[in-house]
Amino acid sequence: MEFREPDMSYTGYSYADYLTWNIPEMVEVIKGKVFKMSAAPRRIHQKISGRLHLKLGNFLHGKKCEVYNAPFDVRLSNNYNNNEHIYTVVKPDLCVICDPSKLDAAGCLGAPDLIVEILSPGNSRKELQNKYEVYEESGVLEYWVISPEAETVLVYTLRNGKYKASKLLTRGDEISTCILPGLIIDLEELFEGLNN
């Protein structure tokens, strides 16, 4: 199938459609709408992603939870396993999945326990609005939004089906999570020397 610029008001694209596209750029489908992903992430984005992936991977070694980094398809659906009925497929920067039954050859089917998104110029609205909504609706237990330029992190924790935001975290703060007891992310270390 040749990919044409989609009508952004069209809400009918499914994961089955996504699998047929042969296009050069990466896309995500959120509630049936297609969103182009940014060009290759900036170096500062990749530094943060790499540091977090290493920290999470080392912490999870030998445990049942697993960490994956982009590009990794996460299919969020309302109890459907059929590709024609899955209307959201995203590629989070990092995600942690603690239920091995959600993992298959294509990626993850269902809500990861933790998703980390790192803001890049041009994707802030998608991350802060569109993904926030689908992550909350799908039951992602924690959603971290990292701003490399501001050197800040917001942690959204799901409580009674709604996200509750942490205070704005920055250098000198630490992130801990009840999902992974014992994990501590020191933001001084995470943001150290990003522009070097």
**Architecture of the domain made up of 41-191:** Alpha-Beta Complex (3.90)
Cβ contact 31:11 at 8 Å: yes
pLDDT digits (tens, 9 = 90+) for 85-129: 888 899 999 999 999 999 999 999 999 999 999 998 766 665 677
Domain boundaries, given as residue ranges, for the chain: 41-191
What is the secondary structure of 145-183 as a DSSP string?
Answer: EEETTTTEEEEEEEETTEEEE-PPEETT-EEE-SSSTT-
| Longest Cα–Cα distance in the chain | 50
Parts of the chain with a pLDDT under 70: 1-11, 38-40, 78-80, 122-127
